[in-house]
Amino acid sequence: MKKFMNNAEEMLNESLKGFGIANADLVKVYENPHFVVRLDAPVLGKVTLISGGGSGHEPLHIGYVGYGMLDAACPGEIFTSPTPDQILAAVRTATGGAGILFIVKNYAGDRMNFEMAAEMAMIEHAFMVPSDEVVTGDAAPKIPGRGMAGTVIIEKIVGAAAEAGFDLAACRKLGERANGAMRSMGVALTSCVPPAVGRPISTIGDDELELGVGIHGEPGRMRLKMMDADDLVRQMIDSIADDLSLKPGETILLYVNGLGGTPLIELYLIYNVAAKFCRDRRLKIVRSLVGNYTTSLEMAGCSITVCRLDDEFIRFWDHPVHTASLRWAR
């Protein structure tokens, strides 16, 4: 294992310090326990958005703290849920008095710890659980999927709505509607190496790929031999479009996310192929996103997310955002 670090135990702490220094105009980073809040927190009278999860997925979630997205994020140790005391400290620092929406990916540990913290805080709150993974097909039952790269879309849309003055119930409803309008599927060419473990989570052969992989390197729906990008992306787009029951003429956001070890030249190639198959289905791509937005340490691979758009989603997607890892003004 070769990584830029001093020791595995201090890796997260040192990384968060660097993040705070590099983005001191946007966020404040707290230690003991760790959490990140936007610099102007608390924003009084606005619904507070708090998310979090294990580290190793950067820029998720800390990179999306700021105007137009999250008010706070709680980073756990690598691939480990944040603790209730982290979440409770973030709540007490960031709450603006209009209630808290916890955006918590569909993993048992994350949900349990956020629920514990919410009960301890005794404050008006609601939960929104991203579960955008495609789970249909011969190898998977029809159950809620894991939270994947589509979490970024939810945080962006709901974050804009909160800035626009939506109340807690409306923010939650919007997030749930966005979650139902999207599906994601991942593929890995290699595994990843958590520093504390020192070895790959799994072994993917030089001539293999893992289709349907999760963002922690969990096994996917099937192990396949390497194939051309066209054949791979066709399977992914077909699975996503079928699960969403997309119809010709519908308007979509097409999002290709890198898992940490795949260069942009390959991600844009994947986007080109995915766009072709979407056009073949007569889908209208009106918004796009390509890059490393929800990673899995140094895993080589990517995920594809398709989100069905309507006028409200487009308006909130286009709403100005200013965070360390997503920013635009329109």
Catalytic residue numbers, as ranges? 57, 216
3-state secondary structure of 8: helix
- Do 100 and 176 reside in the same domain of the chain? yes
> Using the 8-state DSSP alphabet, how is residue 201 labeled?
S
183 pLDDT more than 70: yes
| 196/162 same-domain check | no
The pTM of this model reads 0.96
pLDDT digits (tens, 9 = 90+) for 29-51: 999 999 999 999 999 999 999 99
Identify the bridge partners of residue 260 per DSSP, sorted by sequence position: 299
Q: Is the pLDDT of residue 142 over 70?
A: no
Q: How many whole angstroms separate alpha carbon 327 and alpha carbon 321?
A: 5
Do both 125 and 70 map to the same domain?
Answer: yes
Provide the domain limits for residue 257. Answer: 182-308
Does residue 7 form part of some domain?
A: no
Residue 65 lies in a domain: yes
Together in a domain, 104 and 208: no
Q: How far apart are CA 283 and CA 219, in angstroms?
A: 30
User: What's the whole-number mean pLDDT along residues 97-103?
Assistant: 97
Is pLDDT of 9 > 80? Answer: yes
CA gyration radius for the chain? 19
Structural domain total, the chain: 2
CA 310 to chain centre: 21
